[in-house]
Amino acid sequence: LAHASAGAGQVVKAREMCFVNVHTGEKFKGEYWYDGKYVPDAFSEIKMVMRDHRTNEKFPIDPRLTDVLFVLQHRIKNYTPFEIFSGYRSPSTNALLRRLTAGVARGSLHMQGQAADITQPGTRLSNLEKTAIRMRAGGVGYYPDSDFVHVDTGRARNW
């Protein structure tokens, strides 16, 4: 991730993020990166908010996923918190969802803490999708019937 610039040649020393888990109402709001380093306490909170709400299992979230959300938010210029439908997903939850719905990958990156299904109040879902695809930072899935966009830190691809 290239250093974000604050304008007038200033280099950003901190990155902040805010998102809410739509199933639990829990929110992360704060600095997750400072002066070239990820903030461990922030990732403890992020892991909690993005846990599998069905099983309550927590799993480390890929810091690059948070960077993808940070850049996406800044490119869109909407600083309303992202709504997270799914962050980490346990293997048992992934298997359940595969039985119940189409489009759930057997080897989903959700099970590696590398994916999030998101929406953002005030941003058209199609704009969220197009902006994420243009970033070429990982996978992007468009699910308008379910009202979310999937973003992950795997190879750049879209569906």
> Tokens 């846990």 correspond to what residue?
51
Q: What is the percent of the chain where pLDDT is above 70?
A: 94
Q: Using one digit for the tens of pLDDT, what is the confidence trace for 2-39?
A: 444 445 567 779 999 999 999 999 999 999 999 999 99
The pLDDT score that the predictor gives to residue 102 is 84
Which tens digits make up the pLDDT trace of 46-68?
A: 999 999 999 999 999 999 999 99
Model pLDDT, residue 11: 77
- Predicted local distance difference test score (pLDDT) of residue 9: 63
CA-wise closest residue to 11 among 30, 31, 29, 35: 35
pLDDT at 8: 57
Q: What single letter denotes the amino acid at residue 140?
A: V
| pTM score, whole prediction | 0.91
Higher-pLDDT residue of 8 and 1 is: 8
- Report which secondary-structure segment, H or E, holds 89: none
Read off the pLDDT band of 81 (50, 70, 90).
very high
Query: What pLDDT, on a 0 to 100 scale, did the predictor assign at position 5?
Result: 45
Examine the pLDDT at 158 and tell me if it is beyond 50.
yes
User: What pLDDT is stored for residue 3 in this prediction?
Assistant: 44
CA distances from 37 to 40, 43, 59, 65 (A): 9, 12, 20, 15
Mean pLDDT of all residues in the chain?
94
> pLDDT tens digits, residue range 95-120?
999 999 888 999 999 999 999 999 99
Q: What CA dihedral angle connects 51, 52, 57 and 63, to 10 degrees?
A: -40
